Structure formats: structure tokens, C-alpha cells
Amino acid sequence: MTKAEGRPARVRFAPSPTGYLHIGGARAALFNYLLARQTGGQFILRIEDTDRKRYQPDSEQDLMESLRWLGLEWDEGPDKGGPVGPYRQSERAELYRRYAEELVERGHAYYCFCSPERLRRLREERRKQGLPPRYDGHCRNIPPEEAKRRVEAGEPHVIRFKAPREGEVIAHDLIRGPIRVANKDLDDFILLKSDGMPTYHLAVVVDDHLMGITHVLRGAEWLSTFPLHVHLYRAFGWEEPVWVHLSLFLKPSGKGKISKRDVAAFRKGHKSVLIRDLREFGYLPEAVNNWLALMGWSYDDRTEFFTMQDLIEKFSLERLKPSPAAVNFDKLDHFQGLHVRALPPEELARRLVPFFHKAGYTQVTEDDLRPIVPLIQTRIVTLDDAVRLAGFFFEDQVEPNPDELVPKGLTPEQALEVARRALAVLEALPDMKASTTEPALRALVDELGLKARHVFGLIRVAVTGQRVSPPLFETLELVGRDKVLERMRRAIALLEDKVQQSPASS
């Protein structure tokens, strides 16, 4: 009884605002988004905030910002409204009560007046017998008239589903096939809590129905309660959506689910399962989407580079894989490299600006970065790497470590001599163009009878302050004559000090 394929899909991403958006949620959002865009349907954002105890105030904003950063813009949602709002469950409380009462009237649900104390005792007894917690049906057969009277008199109550005692329920997951559960194993689960708020099970079914959702793509953690939802659809007499429970994410080792401790450990290594961190660490949304898409989905088992447009065209529900996927951060770096190199240089320059600003180079503009980008585009993984590699371009002075000015295999005296000769060569040149400096400095290498790395390494440290930099000659050109000469002189002074302080080596 699933809706026909091929017509515009109305899908939703329905996060609970209990924490920041992580890769599991982001991937569910991505797949829903792709299906909506591919079929010309709608992608809805619904905030499932009925669990007030786990509510985290700043997470709703994080969810929205992270989704937008990924480029997963929704068509309807709490901030933009839409024809079937409100899109925040806490603002729909009245509605859920109505539907829960409708189920009571149809004989599929009942009022339960059991005290928390009684329920606690019940749990305890079942635990002692080694049984899972389960309601014993104590209020199941209270005559409806009596129950109504007690509710009207203000007696505290919940509404429970009257799970059938016989037969079985067969729930169909598109990628997992039929899932059969014996009804006798189901609990009379709560639909409406004593505070009048719905449980997730009631709210999700009512909202997916009222919002006209055609496909539910969500995490595999909902598989176990999936048959309950199927029961609710049948009790209401509603048409079910197509159900897809996405693969579970495992630790990078492939052993077990990712724990809180893993999350903390990842962050120490500049890796993360939180989208806001990946953004801050300088990953591109294109790379994150590409990485996420291939965790639990594949196109042809060969193609690995996908833009959002490719994904919209090529995504298919049939190629979703139910088996768990181990999180692989090396793959993320791999995709990041591919997407960094695929960006037009001027676009990369634009994306780098905030990273330079954050590192304290607050005056840096896109125009400043444009000539640098070709030198670093193939040498960075995260956008943050660009600052480490090219920040020196924006320093008035650099402070080389005097030890690093002495290339391996040379004495400080020899290094000093190399620096003086290199300065002389550079001073004599009409400009710092790569095509001018390169032949002149190579000639110096030959003349000194040294290795290129001795001479170039020293100049690199002198001019950039670091041992790893973009290609030397292009770097000299961009740094410019005055600064290059000034930095070479400074390096000579540092080497002179060093020679004086270490007479042993003379």
C-alpha cells in the first residue's frame, strides 16, 4: 500500500533539537533533499521538539545553519511557513490530542490512569522475572463511559495504543523487505503523555500524514519501532508512505556504534561527526555531501566524484544499501582534495577569505588571495591549511627559526655564505619574476657546487619563515622585491648571530 513511485516526492527531515547536526542526520537530510529535487517535489523541515527534557535551545539554529551550509534548503519549515504548518511539533500539541482521542473513539486506543508508582512496580517485577518492560493492560478494559468521566474529572492520565494481541504485523521497508513482528510482542505504547504532549510515535505518524509525506527516509535506529507506526497508519485508515531505513554509521574501526567518547576523540584529531565542526575545520560542503552520499548509497560502484547536481540526477532509492557503514575520515579528506581542485580559482579565493580573517589576517580580500590560489590549490586539504601554508604572504615580517636557516648537511658558516651569495644574486636582478630568479639561482647552485635543496631551502625559510611553502620562485615573485631583499638581509643577520654564538662549529 505504498504510494506510486515517479511522482513528485514530498519528503521531510525531522530532527529533534537535542544537539548539533551530525553526519547521520545530515545524510538523512541529503537523501530526502535529493529525492525531492529529483522528482520536482518538496523538502520539508519539521522540528520534533516534544521531548522537553532533552531540548537544547541552540540546536535548532545550528540545525538550520548547518543544513543551509550544506546547501540543503527546505521548501517549507518553521522559519518560512508553508501550507501545512506549523512546522514545530510543540506548536501542534492540540492537534495530537484530537487524533489520539479519535483513536480512543475508534477502539484503537484507551485512557490509562496508572500512577507512576504502579508502573514502576510493574517494571520492577518484570525485571526480576527477566522480562522486558511492558504495560500489563490494567486499564485496557475500563468501560469507555467510566474512563471519560474520570478524564473529565481531571484525573491524570495518558492515552495508550490498544495493540492487537493476535496475529502479526508486516512492515515493508523498501531496501530491507518485509519485517514481521508478532503482535503479542508489542507493547500498549503511549500515544499522549500525561502532560498532554504526544510521544514521537503519535506525532510522527500524524504529521507525516497531515503533511502529505510520500517517502520516509530516516535512520535505522527507528527500525525497531517501525511496526508500531505501521499499526497506527492502519488504525487511522491512512495510506502509508514508502519507508526506507538508512544504514547505521559505525566507528571507523567498523566495530560498534559511535559513542560520545569517540566524538570527543575525533575532535582532538581535527576530525568530527558534527557538521558545524567540519565547516569550521575548513571542509567544503561539496566534499561533505559527496562523502555522506557514498555512505550507504552508490551509483555504479566506480564513480566517486559527485557534485550536488550529479547527485540530484543520479540518486536512486533502489541503490541505497541497508548494511552499516564505517565512518572513514580519510575518505572525507580524499573527497575534499577532489572538490578543492575542482573549484574555479576565484571561487576558492572567495571561500578562503573567512579562514584568513579568523586567523587574524583581517584585511585580506578575495583580490589578495586570487594570485595565491594557483600556488596552493593542489597543496591543501582543508581551507585552514591555506592559512598555514600562505599566511606569511600577509606578514610584514617573518621570524625564521635560525636553526632552520641552516640546511641539513651545511655548517652555519656555509649557510651564512650561501645566504650572502643568494642576496647578491637577487639584488643584481632587475625584478623578482619567477622566470628571472629561477635561472639565476640555479646558476648559483652550480657555482657553489651545492645541492638545489641547500640553496632553495635556505631562501624559502628566509623569505617565508617556514620550511614548507608554495613553489619558491612564484612565491618570491608574489612577495615582491623589497620584501624578499629585506627578509634575506634579516636572515643573514640571524645567521651571523648564530655563527658568533657557536664558535665550536667554526
Catalytic, out of 53, 255, 260, 408: 260
Which single residue is written with the C-alpha cell 490494567? 138
C-alpha dist (Å) from residue 157 to 112, 113, 192, 199:
5, 5, 9, 14
42 binds ligand GLU (CB under 6 A): no
C-alpha dist (Å) from residue 239 to 3, 173, 236, 246:
8, 15, 9, 22
Span from 12-20, 71-79, 117-125, 267-275 in contact with ligand GLU (CB under 6 A): 12-20
218 binds ligand GLU (CB under 6 A): yes
User: x/- contact string, 166-205, with ligand GLU (CB under 6 A)?
Assistant: --------------------------------------x-
233 binds ligand GLU (CB under 6 A): no
C-alpha dist (Å) from residue 444 to 238, 425, 489:
83, 8, 18
37 binds ligand GLU (CB under 6 A): no
Give residues 348-377 in contact with ligand GLU (rule: CB under 6 A). Answer: none
17 binds ligand GLU (CB under 6 A): no
Span from 10-18, 97-105, 173-181, 332-340 in contact with ligand GLU (CB under 6 A): 10-18
Give the residue, chosen from 55, 69, 189, 222, that forms a contact with ligand GLU under the rule CB under 6 A. 222
Cis status of the peptide bond prior to 430, with omega within 30 of 0: no
CA 353-431-365 angle, 5° bins: 10
204 vs 275, which CB is nearer to ligand GLU? 204
Count the residues of the shown chain that bind ligand GLU, applying the rule CB under 6 A. 7
48 binds ligand GLU (CB under 6 A): yes
260 carries an active-site annotation:
yes
106 closest CA partner among 242, 239, 238: 238
204 vs 415, which CB is nearer to ligand GLU? 204
458 closest CA partner among 398, 418, 431: 418
CB of 218 to ligand GLU, least distance (A): 3
The full DSSP string for 41-89 is -EEEE-B----GGG--TTHHHHHHHHHHHHT---SBBTTTB-TT---BG
CB of 274 to ligand GLU, least distance (A): 15
204 vs 294, which CB is nearer to ligand GLU? 204
| Interface residues toward ligand GLU, by CB under 6 A | 14-16, 48, 204, 218, 222
Active site residues: 260
